[in-house]
A and B are shown apart, each in its own frame.
Chain A
Amino acid sequence: MLDVNINSMGFRSSEGAALEVLRDLHFNCAQNSFTSIVGPSGCGKTTTLRCILGLETEFDGVIKTSDASGHLHKISAVFQEPRLLPWRTVEQNVRLALKSVDDTELNTLFAELALTEHRDFYPAELSLGLARRVGLARAFAVKPSVLILDEPFVSLDDETAGRLRKLLMQVWAARSCTALMVTHNLLEAIELSDRILFFSGSPSRVVSEYEITVDRKNRNRRTIEQIREDIYASGAASPVD
Protein backbone atom coordinates (compact mmCIF):
# COMPACT_ATOMS: atom_id res chain seq x y z
CA MET A 1 0.00 0.00 0.00
CA LEU A 2 1.01 3.56 -0.64
CA ASP A 3 -0.19 6.12 1.87
CA VAL A 4 0.33 9.81 1.11
CA ASN A 5 -0.33 12.50 3.70
CA ILE A 6 1.14 15.86 2.83
CA ASN A 7 -0.05 18.76 4.97
CA SER A 8 1.88 21.36 3.05
CA MET A 9 4.60 21.53 0.43
CA GLY A 10 5.97 24.67 -1.11
CA PHE A 11 8.85 26.13 -3.03
CA ARG A 12 10.77 29.28 -2.40
CA SER A 13 11.70 31.31 -5.46
CA SER A 14 15.22 32.74 -5.77
CA GLU A 15 13.75 36.13 -4.72
CA GLY A 16 12.43 34.52 -1.53
CA ALA A 17 8.75 34.49 -2.43
CA ALA A 18 7.03 31.35 -1.13
CA LEU A 19 4.70 29.35 -3.32
CA GLU A 20 2.56 26.66 -1.82
CA VAL A 21 2.04 23.83 -4.27
CA LEU A 22 0.29 21.17 -2.19
CA ARG A 23 -2.00 21.53 0.83
CA ASP A 24 -3.88 18.86 2.76
CA LEU A 25 -3.17 16.23 0.18
CA HIS A 26 -4.27 12.86 1.49
CA PHE A 27 -4.81 9.69 -0.46
CA ASN A 28 -3.78 6.07 -0.51
CA CYS A 29 -3.46 3.40 -3.14
CA ALA A 30 -4.52 -0.16 -2.41
CA GLN A 31 -1.96 -2.89 -2.98
CA ASN A 32 -1.60 -3.91 -6.62
CA SER A 33 -4.12 -1.32 -7.77
CA PHE A 34 -3.68 1.15 -10.61
CA THR A 35 -4.45 4.74 -9.66
CA SER A 36 -4.32 7.79 -11.90
CA ILE A 37 -4.02 11.42 -10.95
CA VAL A 38 -5.75 13.87 -13.30
CA GLY A 39 -5.76 17.62 -12.90
CA PRO A 40 -5.02 20.97 -14.52
CA SER A 41 -1.45 21.71 -15.58
CA GLY A 42 0.88 23.13 -13.00
CA CYS A 43 -1.24 21.78 -10.17
CA GLY A 44 1.50 19.87 -8.44
CA LYS A 45 0.85 16.39 -9.80
CA THR A 46 4.49 15.88 -10.73
CA THR A 47 5.56 17.42 -7.40
CA THR A 48 3.46 14.79 -5.62
CA LEU A 49 5.26 12.04 -7.51
CA ARG A 50 8.63 13.62 -6.73
CA CYS A 51 7.77 13.60 -3.02
CA ILE A 52 6.90 9.91 -3.20
CA LEU A 53 10.13 9.15 -5.07
CA GLY A 54 12.15 10.95 -2.41
CA LEU A 55 13.35 13.61 -4.85
CA GLU A 56 11.65 16.31 -2.76
CA THR A 57 12.18 16.10 0.96
CA GLU A 58 11.18 19.57 2.14
CA PHE A 59 7.53 19.03 2.90
CA ASP A 60 5.35 18.78 5.96
CA GLY A 61 3.75 15.36 6.08
CA VAL A 62 4.35 11.63 5.90
CA ILE A 63 4.49 9.28 2.94
CA LYS A 64 4.31 5.64 3.87
CA THR A 65 5.68 3.22 1.36
CA SER A 66 5.95 0.17 3.54
CA ASP A 67 3.55 -2.72 3.95
CA ALA A 68 1.88 -3.92 7.14
CA SER A 69 4.97 -5.83 8.29
CA GLY A 70 7.00 -2.65 7.96
CA HIS A 71 8.85 -4.02 4.96
CA LEU A 72 10.06 -1.10 2.88
CA HIS A 73 8.68 -1.00 -0.64
CA LYS A 74 10.89 -0.90 -3.64
CA ILE A 75 9.82 2.07 -5.74
CA SER A 76 10.66 2.59 -9.36
CA ALA A 77 9.63 5.18 -11.90
CA VAL A 78 8.89 5.91 -15.53
CA PHE A 79 9.76 9.53 -16.16
CA GLN A 80 8.16 11.91 -18.60
CA GLU A 81 11.44 12.21 -20.49
CA PRO A 82 12.76 8.65 -20.71
CA ARG A 83 15.95 9.68 -18.84
CA LEU A 84 18.13 6.97 -20.33
CA LEU A 85 21.90 7.29 -20.20
CA PRO A 86 22.75 8.28 -23.79
CA TRP A 87 26.21 6.66 -23.59
CA ARG A 88 24.91 3.23 -22.56
CA THR A 89 23.02 0.78 -24.73
CA VAL A 90 19.40 -0.18 -24.13
CA GLU A 91 20.44 -3.33 -22.32
CA GLN A 92 23.11 -1.59 -20.23
CA ASN A 93 20.59 1.06 -19.22
CA VAL A 94 18.26 -1.61 -17.87
CA ARG A 95 20.99 -3.70 -16.25
CA LEU A 96 22.45 -0.69 -14.45
CA ALA A 97 19.23 -0.31 -12.47
CA LEU A 98 19.46 -3.91 -11.27
CA LYS A 99 21.39 -5.17 -8.27
CA SER A 100 21.22 -8.78 -9.40
CA VAL A 101 20.31 -9.81 -12.89
CA ASP A 102 18.23 -12.81 -13.84
CA ASP A 103 18.91 -13.25 -17.55
CA THR A 104 15.78 -15.28 -18.27
CA GLU A 105 13.57 -12.68 -16.65
CA LEU A 106 15.32 -9.93 -18.54
CA ASN A 107 14.86 -11.79 -21.82
CA THR A 108 11.15 -12.22 -21.10
CA LEU A 109 10.75 -8.56 -20.27
CA PHE A 110 12.57 -7.46 -23.44
CA ALA A 111 10.43 -9.84 -25.48
CA GLU A 112 7.19 -8.62 -23.88
CA LEU A 113 8.07 -5.01 -24.68
CA ALA A 114 9.30 -5.97 -28.19
CA LEU A 115 12.77 -4.64 -27.42
CA THR A 116 14.79 -7.78 -28.13
CA GLU A 117 16.18 -6.44 -31.41
CA HIS A 118 17.08 -3.11 -29.86
CA ARG A 119 19.16 -4.34 -26.94
CA ASP A 120 22.44 -3.08 -28.40
CA PHE A 121 21.13 0.26 -29.64
CA TYR A 122 22.07 3.56 -28.07
CA PRO A 123 19.18 5.80 -26.96
CA ALA A 124 19.99 8.38 -29.66
CA GLU A 125 19.16 5.72 -32.23
CA LEU A 126 15.66 5.13 -30.85
CA SER A 127 12.36 6.87 -31.56
CA LEU A 128 10.60 8.44 -28.58
CA GLY A 129 8.12 5.55 -28.47
CA LEU A 130 10.95 3.03 -28.31
CA ALA A 131 12.84 5.02 -25.69
CA ARG A 132 9.66 5.10 -23.59
CA ARG A 133 9.46 1.33 -23.88
CA VAL A 134 13.02 1.07 -22.57
CA GLY A 135 11.95 3.31 -19.69
CA LEU A 136 9.13 0.87 -18.95
CA ALA A 137 11.50 -2.09 -19.18
CA ARG A 138 13.88 -0.50 -16.70
CA ALA A 139 11.07 0.37 -14.29
CA PHE A 140 9.65 -3.17 -14.34
CA ALA A 141 13.03 -4.91 -14.34
CA VAL A 142 13.73 -3.89 -10.75
CA LYS A 143 10.52 -5.66 -9.70
CA PRO A 144 9.07 -2.71 -7.81
CA SER A 145 6.20 -2.95 -5.38
CA VAL A 146 5.31 0.66 -6.18
CA LEU A 147 5.56 1.98 -9.72
CA ILE A 148 5.36 5.72 -10.36
CA LEU A 149 4.51 6.89 -13.90
CA ASP A 150 4.78 10.57 -14.81
CA GLU A 151 2.85 11.15 -18.04
CA PRO A 152 4.53 8.17 -19.65
CA PHE A 153 2.76 8.54 -23.00
CA VAL A 154 2.75 12.29 -23.49
CA SER A 155 3.83 13.72 -26.88
CA LEU A 156 3.40 10.45 -28.74
CA ASP A 157 0.98 10.08 -31.65
CA ASP A 158 -2.34 8.46 -30.74
CA GLU A 159 -1.55 5.15 -32.36
CA THR A 160 1.83 4.72 -30.65
CA ALA A 161 0.42 5.87 -27.32
CA GLY A 162 -2.45 3.40 -27.65
CA ARG A 163 -0.08 0.54 -28.39
CA LEU A 164 2.15 1.48 -25.48
CA ARG A 165 -0.84 1.58 -23.11
CA LYS A 166 -1.74 -1.97 -24.14
CA LEU A 167 1.86 -3.06 -23.57
CA LEU A 168 1.93 -1.39 -20.18
CA MET A 169 -1.26 -3.21 -19.20
CA GLN A 170 0.12 -6.58 -20.30
CA VAL A 171 3.39 -6.16 -18.45
CA TRP A 172 1.73 -4.70 -15.37
CA ALA A 173 -0.93 -7.44 -15.24
CA ALA A 174 1.73 -10.14 -15.42
CA ARG A 175 3.49 -8.71 -12.36
CA SER A 176 2.03 -7.42 -9.17
CA CYS A 177 2.75 -3.87 -8.17
CA THR A 178 0.92 -0.77 -7.03
CA ALA A 179 0.91 1.76 -9.87
CA LEU A 180 0.38 5.50 -9.59
CA MET A 181 0.25 7.49 -12.81
CA VAL A 182 -0.06 11.19 -13.55
CA THR A 183 -1.74 12.14 -16.81
CA HIS A 184 -3.49 15.03 -18.57
CA ASN A 185 -5.51 12.63 -20.61
CA LEU A 186 -8.76 11.52 -18.95
CA LEU A 187 -9.48 8.83 -21.55
CA GLU A 188 -6.05 7.35 -20.92
CA ALA A 189 -6.73 7.35 -17.17
CA ILE A 190 -10.06 5.59 -17.74
CA GLU A 191 -8.50 2.95 -19.96
CA LEU A 192 -5.81 2.03 -17.44
CA SER A 193 -6.98 2.74 -13.90
CA ASP A 194 -8.95 1.19 -11.10
CA ARG A 195 -9.42 4.59 -9.58
CA ILE A 196 -8.94 8.18 -10.69
CA LEU A 197 -8.02 11.02 -8.33
CA PHE A 198 -8.91 14.52 -9.48
CA PHE A 199 -6.57 17.24 -8.23
CA SER A 200 -7.56 20.87 -7.77
CA GLY A 201 -5.53 23.86 -8.94
CA SER A 202 -2.67 25.18 -6.83
CA PRO A 203 -2.25 24.62 -3.91
CA SER A 204 -3.68 21.30 -4.83
CA ARG A 205 -5.44 18.54 -3.01
CA VAL A 206 -7.72 15.68 -4.04
CA VAL A 207 -11.11 17.23 -4.85
CA SER A 208 -12.86 14.07 -5.96
CA GLU A 209 -12.23 10.50 -6.94
CA TYR A 210 -13.88 8.01 -9.19
CA GLU A 211 -13.79 4.24 -8.94
CA ILE A 212 -13.94 2.40 -12.25
CA THR A 213 -15.87 -0.84 -11.90
CA VAL A 214 -15.95 -1.94 -15.53
CA ASP A 215 -13.56 -4.84 -16.07
CA ARG A 216 -10.41 -3.86 -18.02
CA LYS A 217 -11.16 -6.48 -20.65
CA ASN A 218 -14.44 -4.76 -21.49
CA ARG A 219 -13.00 -1.30 -21.85
CA ASN A 220 -13.15 -0.26 -25.46
CA ARG A 221 -13.63 3.09 -27.10
CA ARG A 222 -17.38 3.08 -26.47
CA THR A 223 -17.32 2.00 -22.82
CA ILE A 224 -14.46 4.40 -22.09
CA GLU A 225 -16.49 7.30 -23.46
CA GLN A 226 -19.48 6.17 -21.46
CA ILE A 227 -17.39 6.15 -18.33
CA ARG A 228 -16.23 9.64 -19.15
CA GLU A 229 -19.82 10.82 -19.47
CA ASP A 230 -20.57 9.15 -16.17
CA ILE A 231 -17.64 10.96 -14.53
CA TYR A 232 -18.91 14.29 -15.83
CA ALA A 233 -22.46 13.43 -14.70
CA SER A 234 -21.29 12.45 -11.22
CA GLY A 235 -19.63 15.85 -10.91
CA ALA A 236 -16.21 14.31 -10.12
CA ALA A 237 -14.79 16.36 -12.97
CA SER A 238 -16.13 18.77 -15.55
CA PRO A 239 -15.44 18.73 -19.29
CA VAL A 240 -13.31 21.91 -19.05
CA ASP A 241 -10.72 20.04 -16.98
Chain B
Amino acid sequence: MGRIAGGRLPAWLISVGGLLLVWAVFAWFAQSRSLPSPLQVASAIVTEVRSGEMFFHMGATLARVAAAFVVAMAIGSAIGILLGRSRKLNHFFDPWVIFFLNIPALVIIVLSYIWFGLNEAAAIGAVALNKIPNVIVTIREGAKSLEPQLAEMAKVFRFSRWQMLRHVVLPQLQPFFAAATRSGISLIWKIVLVVELLGRSNGVGFQIHLYFQLFDVATILAYTLVFVVVMLAVEYLLLQPLEKYSRRWRAKHA
Protein backbone atom coordinates (compact mmCIF):
# COMPACT_ATOMS: atom_id res chain seq x y z
CA MET B 1 0.00 0.00 0.00
CA GLY B 2 3.01 2.23 0.39
CA ARG B 3 3.01 2.56 -3.37
CA ILE B 4 -0.01 4.86 -3.31
CA ALA B 5 1.94 7.48 -1.45
CA GLY B 6 5.23 6.78 -3.21
CA GLY B 7 4.53 5.92 -6.82
CA ARG B 8 0.90 5.86 -7.84
CA LEU B 9 -0.41 9.15 -6.50
CA PRO B 10 1.90 11.38 -8.59
CA ALA B 11 1.07 9.34 -11.71
CA TRP B 12 -2.60 9.81 -10.92
CA LEU B 13 -2.06 13.55 -10.42
CA ILE B 14 -0.19 13.86 -13.72
CA SER B 15 -3.02 12.04 -15.47
CA VAL B 16 -5.72 14.32 -14.05
CA GLY B 17 -3.54 17.37 -14.65
CA GLY B 18 -3.11 16.30 -18.28
CA LEU B 19 -6.86 16.01 -18.73
CA LEU B 20 -7.37 19.51 -17.27
CA LEU B 21 -4.67 20.88 -19.57
CA VAL B 22 -6.28 19.37 -22.69
CA TRP B 23 -9.63 20.82 -21.57
CA ALA B 24 -8.07 24.25 -20.95
CA VAL B 25 -6.39 24.32 -24.36
CA PHE B 26 -9.60 23.39 -26.18
CA ALA B 27 -11.59 25.96 -24.21
CA TRP B 28 -9.03 28.65 -24.99
CA PHE B 29 -9.25 27.96 -28.73
CA ALA B 30 -13.03 27.68 -28.72
CA GLN B 31 -13.65 30.86 -26.70
CA SER B 32 -17.31 29.87 -26.45
CA ARG B 33 -19.97 29.93 -23.75
CA SER B 34 -20.74 26.30 -24.55
CA LEU B 35 -17.20 25.20 -23.63
CA PRO B 36 -16.12 27.03 -20.47
CA SER B 37 -12.54 26.76 -19.22
CA PRO B 38 -11.63 24.89 -16.03
CA LEU B 39 -11.26 28.23 -14.27
CA GLN B 40 -14.76 29.34 -15.22
CA VAL B 41 -16.14 26.04 -13.93
CA ALA B 42 -14.18 26.45 -10.72
CA SER B 43 -15.65 29.91 -10.18
CA ALA B 44 -19.14 28.48 -10.89
CA ILE B 45 -18.49 25.91 -8.16
CA VAL B 46 -17.47 28.70 -5.76
CA THR B 47 -20.61 30.70 -6.59
CA GLU B 48 -22.91 27.72 -6.02
CA VAL B 49 -21.15 26.78 -2.79
CA ARG B 50 -21.32 30.38 -1.48
CA SER B 51 -25.04 30.67 -2.21
CA GLY B 52 -25.66 27.36 -0.42
CA GLU B 53 -27.32 25.90 -3.52
CA MET B 54 -24.57 23.33 -4.01
CA PHE B 55 -24.99 21.77 -0.55
CA PHE B 56 -28.76 21.84 -0.68
CA HIS B 57 -29.10 20.10 -4.03
CA MET B 58 -26.15 17.77 -3.48
CA GLY B 59 -27.68 16.75 -0.14
CA ALA B 60 -31.07 16.05 -1.72
CA THR B 61 -29.51 13.90 -4.42
CA LEU B 62 -27.24 12.00 -2.00
CA ALA B 63 -30.21 11.28 0.28
CA ARG B 64 -32.11 9.82 -2.68
CA VAL B 65 -29.09 7.77 -3.76
CA ALA B 66 -28.72 6.39 -0.24
CA ALA B 67 -32.44 5.61 0.18
CA ALA B 68 -32.75 3.94 -3.23
CA PHE B 69 -29.55 1.98 -2.60
CA VAL B 70 -30.69 0.66 0.77
CA VAL B 71 -34.13 -0.31 -0.56
CA ALA B 72 -32.69 -1.97 -3.67
CA MET B 73 -30.02 -3.91 -1.77
CA ALA B 74 -32.42 -5.11 0.93
CA ILE B 75 -35.19 -6.26 -1.39
CA GLY B 76 -32.84 -7.51 -4.11
CA SER B 77 -30.72 -9.52 -1.65
CA ALA B 78 -33.72 -11.14 0.00
CA ILE B 79 -35.19 -12.19 -3.35
CA GLY B 80 -31.75 -13.20 -4.67
CA ILE B 81 -31.05 -15.50 -1.70
CA LEU B 82 -34.53 -17.02 -2.00
CA LEU B 83 -34.18 -17.72 -5.72
CA GLY B 84 -30.64 -19.00 -5.31
CA ARG B 85 -31.70 -21.49 -2.66
CA SER B 86 -34.91 -22.76 -4.26
CA ARG B 87 -34.71 -24.31 -7.70
CA LYS B 88 -38.51 -24.29 -8.06
CA LEU B 89 -38.93 -20.62 -7.19
CA ASN B 90 -36.06 -19.70 -9.48
CA HIS B 91 -37.62 -21.65 -12.33
CA PHE B 92 -40.89 -19.82 -11.92
CA PHE B 93 -39.56 -16.31 -11.34
CA ASP B 94 -36.60 -16.29 -13.71
CA PRO B 95 -38.65 -14.86 -16.63
CA TRP B 96 -39.91 -12.12 -14.29
CA VAL B 97 -36.36 -11.16 -13.40
CA ILE B 98 -35.32 -11.07 -17.07
CA PHE B 99 -38.41 -8.98 -17.88
CA PHE B 100 -37.62 -6.34 -15.24
CA LEU B 101 -33.93 -6.45 -16.10
CA ASN B 102 -34.78 -5.31 -19.62
CA ILE B 103 -37.33 -2.55 -18.99
CA PRO B 104 -35.64 0.78 -19.77
CA ALA B 105 -35.07 2.94 -16.71
CA LEU B 106 -36.98 5.81 -18.30
CA VAL B 107 -40.14 3.70 -18.70
CA ILE B 108 -40.11 2.67 -15.05
CA ILE B 109 -39.62 6.29 -13.96
CA VAL B 110 -42.41 7.67 -16.15
CA LEU B 111 -44.87 4.92 -15.17
CA SER B 112 -43.98 5.31 -11.53
CA TYR B 113 -44.75 9.06 -11.64
CA ILE B 114 -48.01 8.42 -13.51
CA TRP B 115 -49.21 5.68 -11.17
CA PHE B 116 -47.98 6.98 -7.83
CA GLY B 117 -47.80 10.72 -8.42
CA LEU B 118 -44.94 13.20 -8.46
CA ASN B 119 -43.71 12.42 -4.96
CA GLU B 120 -40.57 11.32 -3.20
CA ALA B 121 -41.72 7.72 -2.69
CA ALA B 122 -42.42 7.29 -6.39
CA ALA B 123 -39.01 8.76 -7.25
CA ILE B 124 -37.01 6.55 -4.87
CA GLY B 125 -39.13 3.52 -5.67
CA ALA B 126 -38.51 3.96 -9.39
CA VAL B 127 -34.75 4.15 -8.88
CA ALA B 128 -34.74 1.11 -6.58
CA LEU B 129 -36.87 -0.86 -9.02
CA ASN B 130 -34.31 -0.20 -11.74
CA LYS B 131 -31.57 -1.62 -9.58
CA ILE B 132 -33.35 -4.55 -7.88
CA PRO B 133 -33.12 -7.01 -10.82
CA ASN B 134 -29.35 -6.44 -10.98
CA VAL B 135 -28.97 -7.15 -7.28
CA ILE B 136 -31.15 -10.27 -7.58
CA VAL B 137 -29.04 -11.69 -10.41
CA THR B 138 -25.74 -11.07 -8.60
CA ILE B 139 -26.81 -12.34 -5.16
CA ARG B 140 -28.62 -15.31 -6.69
CA GLU B 141 -25.34 -16.44 -8.23
CA GLY B 142 -23.73 -16.31 -4.79
CA ALA B 143 -26.60 -18.12 -3.08
CA LYS B 144 -26.36 -20.93 -5.62
CA SER B 145 -22.75 -21.60 -4.73
CA LEU B 146 -23.04 -21.76 -0.94
CA GLU B 147 -20.79 -24.35 0.70
CA PRO B 148 -22.94 -27.37 1.72
CA GLN B 149 -20.21 -28.59 4.10
CA LEU B 150 -20.57 -25.50 6.27
CA ALA B 151 -24.36 -25.77 6.24
CA GLU B 152 -24.05 -29.35 7.52
CA MET B 153 -21.65 -28.25 10.23
CA ALA B 154 -24.17 -25.59 11.28
CA LYS B 155 -26.91 -28.21 11.36
CA VAL B 156 -24.89 -30.63 13.51
CA PHE B 157 -24.04 -27.86 15.97
CA ARG B 158 -27.65 -26.64 15.93
CA PHE B 159 -27.08 -23.09 14.77
CA SER B 160 -30.22 -20.96 15.01
CA ARG B 161 -31.66 -19.50 11.81
CA TRP B 162 -30.19 -16.14 12.71
CA GLN B 163 -26.73 -17.61 13.42
CA MET B 164 -26.91 -19.49 10.15
CA LEU B 165 -27.70 -16.32 8.23
CA ARG B 166 -25.22 -14.09 10.01
CA HIS B 167 -22.24 -16.41 10.38
CA VAL B 168 -22.59 -18.93 7.57
CA VAL B 169 -24.64 -17.51 4.68
CA LEU B 170 -23.94 -13.77 4.60
CA PRO B 171 -20.12 -14.05 4.85
CA GLN B 172 -20.16 -16.38 1.86
CA LEU B 173 -22.19 -13.80 -0.06
CA GLN B 174 -19.84 -10.93 0.83
CA PRO B 175 -17.99 -10.85 -2.54
CA PHE B 176 -21.34 -10.79 -4.30
CA PHE B 177 -22.61 -7.96 -2.08
CA ALA B 178 -19.43 -6.05 -2.88
CA ALA B 179 -20.01 -6.54 -6.62
CA ALA B 180 -23.67 -5.51 -6.36
CA THR B 181 -22.72 -2.44 -4.30
CA ARG B 182 -20.02 -1.35 -6.70
CA SER B 183 -22.18 -1.60 -9.82
CA GLY B 184 -25.21 -0.45 -7.83
CA ILE B 185 -24.01 2.93 -6.66
CA SER B 186 -22.76 4.00 -10.07
CA LEU B 187 -26.02 2.92 -11.72
CA ILE B 188 -28.24 4.44 -9.06
CA TRP B 189 -26.79 7.91 -9.03
CA LYS B 190 -27.16 8.21 -12.77
CA ILE B 191 -30.81 7.19 -12.60
CA VAL B 192 -31.45 9.52 -9.64
CA LEU B 193 -30.47 12.48 -11.83
CA VAL B 194 -33.03 11.44 -14.45
CA VAL B 195 -35.72 11.04 -11.79
CA GLU B 196 -34.96 14.54 -10.49
CA LEU B 197 -34.99 16.02 -13.96
CA LEU B 198 -38.42 14.54 -14.68
CA GLY B 199 -40.32 15.11 -11.49
CA ARG B 200 -38.52 16.69 -8.55
CA SER B 201 -37.92 20.33 -7.66
CA ASN B 202 -34.50 19.90 -6.07
CA GLY B 203 -31.37 17.83 -6.49
CA VAL B 204 -28.47 17.85 -8.92
CA GLY B 205 -30.68 16.56 -11.76
CA PHE B 206 -33.10 19.41 -11.24
CA GLN B 207 -30.27 21.97 -11.23
CA ILE B 208 -28.72 20.58 -14.39
CA HIS B 209 -32.10 20.80 -16.09
CA LEU B 210 -32.47 24.40 -14.90
CA TYR B 211 -29.04 25.47 -16.16
CA PHE B 212 -29.61 23.61 -19.39
CA GLN B 213 -32.58 25.92 -20.02
CA LEU B 214 -30.36 28.90 -19.16
CA PHE B 215 -27.62 27.44 -21.37
CA ASP B 216 -25.14 27.83 -18.47
CA VAL B 217 -22.65 25.08 -19.28
CA ALA B 218 -20.17 26.20 -16.59
CA THR B 219 -22.67 25.55 -13.79
CA ILE B 220 -23.77 22.25 -15.35
CA LEU B 221 -20.14 21.14 -15.34
CA ALA B 222 -19.72 22.51 -11.82
CA TYR B 223 -22.46 20.21 -10.49
CA THR B 224 -21.21 17.26 -12.53
CA LEU B 225 -17.63 17.58 -11.30
CA VAL B 226 -18.54 18.01 -7.67
CA PHE B 227 -20.84 15.01 -7.87
CA VAL B 228 -18.17 12.81 -9.46
CA VAL B 229 -15.72 13.85 -6.75
CA VAL B 230 -18.26 13.00 -4.03
CA MET B 231 -18.86 9.57 -5.56
CA LEU B 232 -15.10 8.97 -5.77
CA ALA B 233 -14.84 9.88 -2.10
CA VAL B 234 -17.62 7.38 -1.30
CA GLU B 235 -15.69 4.73 -3.22
CA TYR B 236 -12.29 5.36 -1.63
CA LEU B 237 -13.28 6.45 1.86
CA LEU B 238 -16.27 4.18 2.45
CA LEU B 239 -16.56 1.22 0.08
CA GLN B 240 -12.92 0.21 -0.19
CA PRO B 241 -12.14 0.37 3.55
CA LEU B 242 -15.36 -1.57 4.23
CA GLU B 243 -14.41 -4.22 1.74
CA LYS B 244 -10.91 -4.45 3.14
CA TYR B 245 -12.36 -4.94 6.61
CA SER B 246 -14.72 -7.66 5.48
CA ARG B 247 -11.82 -9.50 3.82
CA ARG B 248 -9.54 -9.35 6.86
CA TRP B 249 -9.81 -13.10 7.48
CA ARG B 250 -8.23 -13.91 4.12
CA ALA B 251 -4.96 -13.08 5.84
CA LYS B 252 -1.49 -14.19 4.95
CA HIS B 253 -0.54 -17.65 6.16
CA ALA B 254 1.15 -17.93 9.53
Asked if A54 lies at the interface with its beta carbon under 8 angstroms from chain B, I say yes
Q: Which residues of B contact A138 (CB under 8 A)?
A: 157
- Closest Cβ–Cβ distance, residue B172 to chain A (whole Å): 8
Q: Please count the residue pairs between chain A and chain B whose beta carbons lie under 8 angstroms apart in the complex.
A: 56
Contact indicator A121/B150 (Cβ below 8 Å): no
- Closest Cβ–Cβ distance, residue A216 to chain B (whole Å): 27
Enumerate B130-167 residues with CB–CB distance to A below 8 Å. 149-150, 152-153, 155-159, 163, 167
- Closest Cβ–Cβ distance, residue B175 to chain A (whole Å): 11
The count of chain A contact residues (Cβ–Cβ below 8 Å) is: 25
Scoring B156, B163, B250 by chain A CB atoms within 10 A of each residue's CB, the highest score goes to B156
Contact indicator A83/B254 (Cβ below 8 Å): no
Contact indicator A124/B157 (Cβ below 8 Å): no
Q: Which residues of B contact A96 (CB under 8 A)?
A: 157, 159, 163, 167
Which residue of the partner chain A has the closest CB to B160? A99
Asked if B171 lies at the interface with its beta carbon under 8 angstroms from chain A, I say yes
Interface bin, chain B: 20 to 34
- Contact mask for chain A residues 103-140; partner B; CB cutoff 8 A; 1 contact, 0 none: 00000000000000000011111110000000000100
With known contacts A83-B150, A85-B150, A125-B253, A97–B171 Cβ distance under 8 A: no
Asked if B71 lies at the interface with its beta carbon under 8 angstroms from chain A, I say no
Asked if B214 lies at the interface with its beta carbon under 8 angstroms from chain A, I say no
**Which A positions have Cβ atoms within 8 angstroms of B?**
53-55, 75-77, 79, 81, 83, 85-88, 96-97, 99, 121-127, 138, 142
**Which B positions have Cβ atoms within 8 angstroms of A?**
149-150, 152-153, 155-159, 163, 167-168, 171, 174, 248-254
A-B contact pairs, 19 of them (CB 8 A): A53-B152, A55-B156, A75-B156, A76-B156, A77-B153, A77-B156, A79-B149, A81-B149, A83-B150, A83-B152, A86-B171, A88-B249, A99-B158, A122-B249, A122-B251, A123-B249, A124-B250, A125-B251, A125-B252
